[in-house]
Structure 1
Amino acid sequence: MKIGILGAMEVEVQELIENMENIKEETISSITFYSGTLQGKNVIVARCGVGKVHSGICTQTMILKYAPDAIINTGVAGSLNADLDIADIVISDNVVQHDFDTSAFGDPMGLISGINLVKIPCPKELVQKIKEAADTIEGTNVVVGTIASGDQFICSGEKKDFIVGNFDALCAEMEGAAIGQVCYINNVDFCIVRAMSDKADGSAHMDFPTFTQIAAKKSTQLINEFLKCI
């Protein structure tokens, strides 16, 4: 089984790359792809860049060039749920694009043109395997649910309420649903893993870099545990 792993920022994939063996590098469309083994499994790791366009380009390139059996997007997100604190983990069972809006034409908020879905589903078996790996990490609150993506850094209560009210999402970030859309179109399994780096309301602004490091390390730990058990 070959697993593709994507992260938007260097901090989200750096430790994974550093621990890979038999590593080969190739740069395509300004994105460096690292292929090799991690925890004895075949992997391709890439830093896609921030936002839906970057992540979509990276995902499609990875699929065409390396043909992974599944793609996991690891990283950090802003919590939209009062019960989710810094470094808690959300595993997607579906993803939505909260900024996709053709409601002026009578469509539901978030309906993606071309695939006619609001919530793009993740394969249940893959989600369950990642959840089982997450449950081995001590002292970590792990939940499964909707992850919302958009080309916006969410930092206001009003926007949080909008996303939760329309999509019942647990956390917000900027790449996962674009990755999910590309995988869905290509019939490639995917799942999004996010550790909470902030509360998406501006309250952690001054400590965001510190919290991001903590959260990214927790996501990396989960990926390693998942690879051990597949």
Structure 2
Amino acid sequence: MRTSWLVVFFVALALEILWSSRVSGFYGDSAAIESVSRRGAHVGIVVPNMYEFTPLLEQGRFVADATIPFIDIGGRRFHIGTIHGKRSIVVISGLSMLNAGTTTQQLLDHFRIDVVLHYGIAGSSNPSLHIADVSIASSWIHTGLWYWQRYGQGPNDELSLEQNGDYTRLLGNLHFGSYNDPSNENSDNKLGHIYFQPEEVFPITGTPEVRQHAFKVPVSRTLYETAQRELMNLELKACLNSSSCLSSEPKVLFGLTGSSANVFLDNAAYRTLLYDKFGISSVDMESAAVALTCYAQGKPFIIFRSISDLAGGSDHSNEAIQFSDLAAENAVIAVVEFIRSSHATF
């Protein structure tokens, strides 16, 4: 009788452990991860949101694996499959820099990843970058790391901890008083100045606990040159439906600088500042985090962002609600064609 009770107890305990591991995100366990990794290196694809992932699932673009279609790890689902015969793992990160960075690190920690591709929609801060265009930037900047100076100080005043190398004035600042309404006689503003800061990074090739700094992070040169060669004349979609089309054909643009921050930008003045000060052409909330993570881990990466709105640069309301689907579709077209055409290069 006691033996039967012990059997029941241990079976219940095993089921509890199995269930706990499943709900905590380890469904599929290490054996499934090892099985996928034994197949060889994969293309890792990080996508911000489901509506940007959905076009990849359509028209047979992404073919899920028949035996292990996905593995859940730490609350995220890693979709296992192929794109044009190339082994691929796709994961949705969720909105924001934190989500994008941690998801990219999870991807690299658990799987054999050859290169990382990231795609999604973005706002345009460049007058030459239009709705549904795809920007393949050569470098990425995180513009959301600031030193906010106290009121009454300015560019000639040293920042706290600047001597230690923690903060800098060299990258430029935003003076809020420069954007006051001209009808207001007060030429200053108690919000003062913010100074753009580089990220602290700890590259895998560096010395642990010895920080380095990175502001403009370049994409992989090989991947970028491949994209230039293969996607320069790529045909993109110009129509939302049969009765609603853009006035000009969308195109793929290269040689630009992209930026990210935990801000949905819909402000003409700040949009202009980013373009004038840093030459930034597109703005989003995730790409720079993917770039910084790959940079620190020494992993080749490239990013595709399609324009859904003008980030406050138009005279009417934000366009994202109208053009997000079209932009997401064009971003997917570019990514899928990149994988197809560069099959032999990675």
The alignment's TM-score, normalised by the length of structure 1, stands at 0.93
1:206, CA displacement in angstroms? 5.8
CA distance in 2, matches of 1:31, 1:217: 23
The answer on whether the counterparts of 1:80 and 1:172 sit within 8 Å (CA) in structure 2 is yes
Aligned residue runs from structure 1 range 99-178, under 5 A: 99-102=144-147, 104=159, 105=162, 106-107=167-168, 108=171, 109-114=196-201, 115-138=212-235, 139-144=249-254, 145-178=256-289
Q: RMSD across aligned C-alpha pairs, in angstroms?
A: 1.8
Q: Pick one of 49, 53, 75 that aligns with 1:9.
A: 49
Conserved? CA contact 1:133–1:222, under 8 Å: no
2-side partners of 1:81 and 1:61: how far apart? 33
Instruction: Specify the alignment match of 1:186 in structure 2.
Output: 297
CA distance in 2, matches of 1:205, 1:31: 34
2:142: which partner in 1?
97
- Size of the aligned set, in residue pairs, is 230
AA paired with 1:3?
V
Q: Distance in 1 between matches of 2:274 and 2:282?
A: 9
Unaligned runs of 5+ in 1: none
Q: Is the 8 A contact 1:6 1:13 kept in 2?
A: no
Tell whether the 8 Å contact from 1:102 to 1:111 is kept in structure 2 after alignment.
Answer: no
SS of equivalent to 2:263: coil
In 2, are the aligned partners of 1:195 and 1:216 still within 8 Å (CA)?
yes
Q: Among the aligned pairs, what percent are the same residue?
A: 24
Q: Does 1:21 align with 2:53?
A: no
How much has 1:169 moved relative to structure 2? 0.7
- In 2, distance between residues paired with 1:51 and 1:88? 22
Partner of 1:226: 338
Q: Encode CA deviations 1:71-120: one digit per residue, 9 max, x unaligned.
A: 11111100001111100111021100011124843513231123312101
Q: Which residue of 2 aligns with 1:48?
A: 93
Q: Name the counterpart of 2:126.
A: 81
Higher relative contact order (CA 8 A, sep 6+): 1
C-alpha separation in 2, matches of 1:142 and 1:35 = 28
Q: Is the CA contact 2:125–2:313 (under 8 Å) kept in the aligned structure 1?
A: no
1:176 is matched by which residue type in structure 2? S
> SS of the residue aligned with 1:69?
strand
Which string of whole-angstrom CA distances, capped at 9 and with x for unpartnered residues, describes residues 180-211 of structure 1? 11101111011111010000007464642230
In terms of fraction of residues, the more strand-rich structure is: 1
Unaligned runs of 5+ in 2: 1-40, 149-158, 172-195, 202-211, 236-248
User: Are the counterparts in 1 of residues 311 and 318 from structure 2 also a CA contact under 8 Å?
Assistant: no
Bigger-Rg structure (1/2): 2
Q: Is residue 217 of structure 1 aligned with residue 304 of structure 2?
A: no
The structural deviation recorded for 1:22 is 4.1
Give CA deviations for 1:123-158 in whole Å, capped at 9, x if unaligned: 111012223332242243222211100000000012
208-217 vs 161-170, which deviates more? 161-170
AA aligned to 1:10 is M
Q: CA 1:82 to 1:205, structure 2 compared with 1: closer, same or farther past 3 Å?
A: same
Q: Is the 8 A contact 1:17 1:45 kept in 2?
A: no
